[in-house]
Structure 1
Amino acid sequence: MDEMTQLRELRADAPVPDRAALAPGRELLTDAIAGGSRRGRRLWADWRITSLGAAAAITAAALIITQVVDTSSNPDNLANNLDLSGPTVTLNRAADFLEEAKAPPEPRAGQWVYTVEVYRKPELAAVENIASPDSSTTPSWTPYADPEMEEDPADDAWSARETYRAAESLPDDPAALLAEVRALYPAFDTEQGREESSTARTFRGLSTLIESYPLSPAARARVYRALGTVPGVRVTDHLVRDAAGRKAIAVTFEVPGSHERQELLLSPSDYSYAGTRRVVTEDHELEEQGFVTRMTAGDVTHDLARTTAAVVDARGQKP
């Protein structure tokens, strides 16, 4: 039995302390999808258990653990009854799983969101491979609450706190939730000059929420149920590999005329956000700034994996 499991079992019968009790013992969003006229985007204190006050330290640490997502866990530890037969069944089962999870408290103002993401360079069949690293790892710290950002009506970016609270306020009914998401993320003109379709806008908004951290299990469950009802959303019938080499569920959507499939990757063990990919669906030529690139079906043009997400007490701190 690993230390994490032992620690959770030690916590099982302990009462949940209030914030004052936890204070002595103890904050997103990636920019994966651009756009949106409203503001939208993206703890573990170093602990040592001593003989004096061990019970209090265990209680505080156990609560903190629920706010840490380590998506580098065993990729073969699949969720019970994992079913990849279609978006409705897959995402409803994910929602069922999340609704059984205990929700950690909302982070405090002054805390930070720590994430680690792995970027894998594009894999293009028609482009000669250049000497560069296959992947890069980027850690980042973002304040959970950013009063200056939140109080500026002209700022198009959301703090993690704004996203968390917007997700908490979403309705249970999938149709009502989708309407609210479209209100949160208005349409924008695509780079091809076409107005973004309602369905593409809906998928973008839902993806933005799913990529956000933190998000309560209940809010994530509601978003998953709604995502399963969006026309054009599919689930790949087998697990794929993300940029970190882990197995992942691929929830996909192809924007008409884009020649690419967007893939929202979820962990098959706990349905947390694992990353994003964009995959070319048909051969075509892409012209940018006078340069023409031959794109081949199967090319991966964007590949990102999130391996860690946590709320910490200070910038520079790691869980």
Structure 2
Amino acid sequence: MDDLTLIRDFAGDAPPADRATLAAARERLLTEAAHPRRTRRLVPWIGGTAVTAAAAVAAVVSLLPTAPAPTPPGVGAPPVAGAPADADPASVLVLAAAYERTQPDVVPRPDQFLHLHNGAYRAWLSIDGTHDGLIDTGDGHPVPAPGCRDGAAVVHKGNTAIGTEPCEPRPAYDPDMPTTGEAMVAHLNAEVFNDPGNPNSVGKDVLSLFESTYLRPPARAALFEAAATLPGLTLADSPPVDGHPAVAIGWSTDSGHNGQLLFDAASNEYLGFRTGNTEVSRSTQTIVDAVGETP
């Protein structure tokens, strides 16, 4: 039996966190810390040009948060209230984590695909990394995303297969992702960050988890809880995202690049990201059965 099953079986129903509880949780997230491990590995990056703007995440993710007790995900869970008018960035992220823990927990099959959609960009990425996917940047020339089978992947020139090359599967879904803020920060420092001293690199690494991999609700919640420990967060109003009133959690780097994660101002649902002053479309992820299938 895994941790998520234990949570579902034994945690029981929990009401949405009130403001006092969130304040206490935030204090724990920001004060109960430990030093991270040093061995790091970069996660694969897909469709990266848009995401380099997330460059903002500072490299000091050495704080290990103690996350609030998770609410079991599932259909019919109570909605999470929006952030109060005087909320700070960390509180919004904690509320976003609470929202994720109310969502249905969909476990994908190995033969399915993660469908990503943001504006003109669409991608179908293999859940287990062995099936052939597709990436469409909206330029009219979709490119194959070959799966890795028996240690070999097809090499394409344009859309024409010209041979194979050695490979390792790059699954779009990792069933072992941490489900608490503390464990997620340890995972980021041990397995994800390639260059923790470089804010651009850290930004891409963190946002790639949001935008290019499938995270089940407890893991998404843990990532928001981990992000809440980052120093230098800013909270700002945002133009609506596809009709949703939004707030923006931002970071800045010494080079002047800016990146923002956008959240629904009422429900705290993650909506997408913004690069500087560019327009933003809502980011969505769905599990589908075949390349080309859309919700």
What is the TM-score normalised by the length of structure 1? 0.51
Partner of 1:141: 124
1:248 is matched with 246
Identify if the C-alpha distance between structure 1 residues 156 and 183 changes in structure 2 by more than 3 Å, giving closer, same or farther. Answer: farther
Partner of 1:172: 180
Residues 230-289 of structure 1: per-residue CA shift (max 9 Å, x gap):
1122222x24334x4643231111112x2121112233455444222222xxxxxxxxxx
SS of the equivalent of 2:282 reads: strand
CA, structure 1 residues 201+179, in 2 after alignment: closer, same or farther (shift >3 Å)? farther
Question: Could you give the per-residue CA deviations for residues 188-208 of structure 1, whole angstroms, max 9, x where no partner exists?
Answer: 4xxxxxxx6266554443322
Q: Do the aligned partners of 2:95 and 2:268 also contact (CA within 8 Å) in 1?
A: no
* CA distance in structure 2 between the aligned counterparts of 1:307 and 1:199, rounded to whole angstroms: 23
- Contact 2:96–2:270 under 8 Å retained in 1: no
Distance 2:47 2:271 in 1: 12
Aligned-residue offset at 1:304: 4.0
Q: Which has the larger radius of gyration?
A: 1
Question: Counterparts of 1:157 and 1:270 in 2: how far apart (Å)?
Answer: 36
Q: What is residue 94 of structure 1 aligned with on the other side?
A: 96
Return the alpha-carbon distance in structure 2 between the equivalents of residues 201 and 110 of structure 1.
31
Q: 1:146 to 1:316 in 2, by over 3 A?
A: same
- The alpha-carbon distance between structure 1 residues 215 and 221, as it changes in their structure 2 partners (threshold 3 A), is same
Contact 1:210 1:273 in 2 (8 A): no
SS of the equivalent of 2:232 reads: coil
1:43-84 superposed Cα distances (whole Å, 9 cap, x missing partner): xxxxxxxxxxxxxxxxxxxxxx97xxxxxxxxxxx9523236
**Unaligned stretches of 5+ in structure 2?**
1-44, 53-73, 131-146, 153-165
Residues 111-260 of structure 1 aligned to structure 2 (within 5 Å): 111-118=112-119, 137-147=120-130, 148-149=147-148, 158-161=170-173, 164-165=174-175, 168-170=176-178, 172-174=180-182, 176-188=183-195, 197=197, 201-236=201-236, 238-242=237-241, 244=242, 246-256=244-254, 258-260=255-257
Distance across 2 between alignment mates of 1:227 and 1:87: 10
Q: Which residue of 2 aligns with 1:266?
A: 263
Match of 1:305, SS state, is coil
Q: 1:203 to 1:260 in 2, by over 3 A?
A: closer
Distance 2:190 2:286 in 1: 29
User: In the superposition, relative to structure 1, how do residues 307 and 114 fare at CA in structure 2: closer, same or farther (>3 Å)?
Assistant: same
Partner secondary structure for residue 264 of structure 1: strand
Rounded Cα–Cα distance in structure 1 between residues aligned with 2:46 and 2:81: 29
Going from structure 1 to structure 2, the CA distance change for 1:113 and 1:87 (only over 3 Å counts) comes to same
Structure 1, gaps ≥5 residues long: 1-27, 35-64, 67-77, 119-136, 189-195, 280-299
- Does residue 1:277 correspond to 2:284, yes or no? no
Aligned-residue Cα RMSD (Å) equals 3.6
CA separation of 1:235/1:185 partners in 2, compared to 1, >3 Å: closer, same or farther?
same
Give the partner amino acid of 1:240.
P
What does residue 71 of structure 1 align with?
A: none
After superposition, the Cα gap between the structure-2 partners of 1:318 and 1:200, relative to the gap in structure 1 and judged at 3 Å, is: closer
Residue type of the partner of 1:197?
G
Query: d(CA) in 1 for partners of 2:212 and 2:265?
Result: 18
The residue type paired with residue 180 of structure 1 is H
Deviation at 1:213, TM superposition (A): 4.7
Deviations 1:292-319 (A, max 9, x none): xxxxxxxx2x544235432111112222
Indicate the SS of the match to 1:97: helix
Q: How many residues in Structure 1 have an aligned counterpart in Structure 2?
A: 197
